[in-house]
Amino acid sequence: MRALLDMGREADGKIIRMNLGPFRPYLVTHPDHLQHILRGNSANYTRDGVFWRPLRRLFGDGIMSDGPSWELSRRTLQPVFTAKHVESLADLMAEAIVEGVDELAGPVASGRPIDVPAAMARIVNRTVMRVFFGDKIDIADAERLAPAFDTVGTSVIFRYLLPSVPESVPVPGDRAFRRAVRTIDEIVTPLVQRHRGRTSEGYDIFSVLCRARDDTGAEPSPAWVRDNLVAMLATATETTAGALTWFWLILEAHPDVAARLVGEITGVVGDERVRHSHLKDLPYTGQVVQELLRLYPVGWLFPRMIVEREALGGVWLERGETVIVSPYVTHRLESFWDRPDEFDPDRFSRQRSQNRHRYAYFPFGGGPHQCIGMHVFMIETRLVIAGILSRYRPVSNGRAIAPPKMGASLRPSRRVELTLRPLSHA
Ligand code: HEM
């Protein structure tokens, strides 16, 4: 990752060709070029190639694919995730989050440090399962899914590091990957069998998938329902829990940010239970989350494969080759960001955001594949942060932030633990 960033910095916005033996992807970092690839001519840049193929064994042909099957998936799932619909569910999300935060009381009272990724995953799982999956997956299954998705995300990295090895040749990580996919299918397949064919009015993910019809009016296959369920389960939980894990590391490394954040939350939420209406009065909390996704974009890499040869930025992009698209790199380039390595939430104040290129900051991607869950993420994360910080104070050990480790999503390279102290009113 360090090498990728160094190459990006050296290229300074120009398209370069990386030399990784027989694998020679283009690194594209300039916002104008990213806009062209992700939006302007997105049909020419598909989710295929060495990065997407290994994941196909997990995601199949649903919302994480491309082409007609993706289109049907997107059309089907979109209504669940519009800003308006997600806002209408925000108080339900707040209730589940407050219950999740209540469960921290035991470990806090004992003075034991909390395992942050597990604790964040538990809160996010409870919320997402209730609000978006209509409580059709029980918590025990959801908690078995979380480590399986985690294994998928870390074991696939060998395929990324050995892009020239054909899929028929085993590489380390393959067995763990297959085992994790088997665990996921053991949980998801019976759920698909149970719910498919049932008509239901609801706007939870199960109901909309089971009601879907393709252009000919036919019911989609069980495999399509499975692929979309798996994709939604993976994206709806792992991403948010990952970002919340980075959040606690950042807080520890930036006491000034922590003090201002706590001040804002304490002033607005006080000793109330956090709810949706608090969020409009928590602008700094929102800026911290935006800045968090600038330096630590959980979806740090989402390459594309070139369908037809074309020229971009004075370079011929050859058909069948890979284009590396990485917000992790673009978000850290000096040409587009002032003091890019500094964690400064004020760069997201309204005034300082005004003239920013839309594709200088793209943690949720852009164009037709733009993240469907970004409104969920923005509401859920602020509620979790405000829910915890209105009741507890983190005890800082003054540790510097951990560098990220390679994986399908951006994860810290060390264990993250957190000790919380209750406030007097908690
Ligand atoms: C930290 C939080 C998140 C980040 C950084 C993130 C990032 C992204 C990015 C970069 C993409 C575009 C990938 C591409 O262009 O190939 C994407 C797509 C997607 N995201 Fe997210 N995401 C987050 C949270 C969520 C959540 C909470 C959900 C669901 C509730 C979600 C569901 C999806 C789905 C289904 C897609 C595929 C959309 C499509 O291809 O039509 N994401 N996300």
Give the DSSP H/E element, type plus range, for residue 421. Answer: strand 417-422
User: Residues lining ligand 1, judged by CB closer than 6 Å?
Assistant: 47, 63-64, 74, 231, 235-236, 239-240, 243, 293, 297-299, 302, 363-365, 369, 371-373, 376-377
Q: What residues pair up with 405 in beta bridges, in sequence order?
A: 411
d(CA 322, CA 302): 10
Given a cut of 70, whether residue 426 has pLDDT beyond it is: no
Q: What is the mean pLDDT of residues 377-399?
A: 94
How much of the chain exceeds pLDDT 90, in percent?
80
Whether 97 contacts 127, CB under 8 Å: yes
Given a cut of 60, whether residue 298 has pLDDT beyond it is: yes
Whether 251 contacts 261, CB under 8 Å: yes
Question: Residue 138's pLDDT is what?
Answer: 85
Query: Greatest CA span in the chain, whole angstroms?
Result: 64
Whether 262 contacts 393, CB under 8 Å: yes
Out of 82, 371, 377, 384, give the residue to mutate to test ligand 1, the one with the largest number of ligand atoms within 8 Å of its CB.
371
Question: Residue 408's pLDDT is what?
Answer: 85
Q: pLDDT digit string (tens) for 39-95?
A: 999 999 999 988 898 899 999 999 999 999 999 999 999 999 999 999 999 999 999
Question: Residue 374's pLDDT is what?
Answer: 98
Q: pLDDT digit string (tens) for 216-232?
A: 999 889 999 999 999 99
164 pLDDT tier (thresholds 50, 70, 90): confident
425 pLDDT tier (thresholds 50, 70, 90): very low
**β-pairing, 322-325 with 315-317?**
unpaired
Q: pLDDT digit string (tens) for 91-117?
A: 999 999 999 999 999 999 998 899 999
How many CA atoms, within 13 angstroms, populate the side-chain half-sphere of residue 153?
Answer: 24
Q: What is the mean pLDDT of residues 31-41?
A: 98
Q: Which atom of ligand 1 is nearest to the CA of 367?
A: 15
Q: Cα angle vertex 160, ends 158, 164, to 5°?
A: 95
Q: pLDDT digit string (tens) for 240-275?
A: 999 999 999 999 999 999 999 999 999 999 999 999
Q: 246-278 as b/e, with b when 16 or more CB fall inside 10 Å?
A: bbbbbbbbbeebbebbbebbbebbeeebbbbeb
Q: Which atom of ligand 1 is nearest to the CA of 365?
A: 10
Q: What residues pair up with 23 in beta bridges, in sequence order?
A: 20
> What range does the domain containing 172 cover?
2-422
Higher pLDDT, 56 or 400: 56
Question: Residue 424's pLDDT is what?
Answer: 66
Structure-token match 């992700």, residue found: 38
* Sequence-separated (6 or more) residues with CB below 8 Å from residue 348: 286, 287, 290, 291
Q: What is the mean pLDDT of residues 139-153?
A: 88
Out of 239, 325, 361, give the residue to mutate to test ligand 1, the one with the largest number of ligand atoms within 8 Å of its CB.
239
Q: Which atom of ligand 1 is nearest to the CA of 242?
A: 1
* Sequence-separated (6 or more) residues with CB below 8 Å from residue 402: 249, 412, 413, 414, 416
The mean pLDDT value of the chain amounts to 94
400 pLDDT tier (thresholds 50, 70, 90): confident
For residue 285, which of 309, 253, 311, 251 has the smallest C-alpha distance? 251
Question: Residue 416's pLDDT is what?
Answer: 93
Count of structural domains within the chain: 1
Q: What is the CATH number of the domain that holds 94?
A: 1.10.630.10
d(CA 358, CA 350): 14
d(CA 81, CA 236): 11
Question: Residue 398's pLDDT is what?
Answer: 77
Given a cut of 80, whether residue 197 has pLDDT beyond it is: no
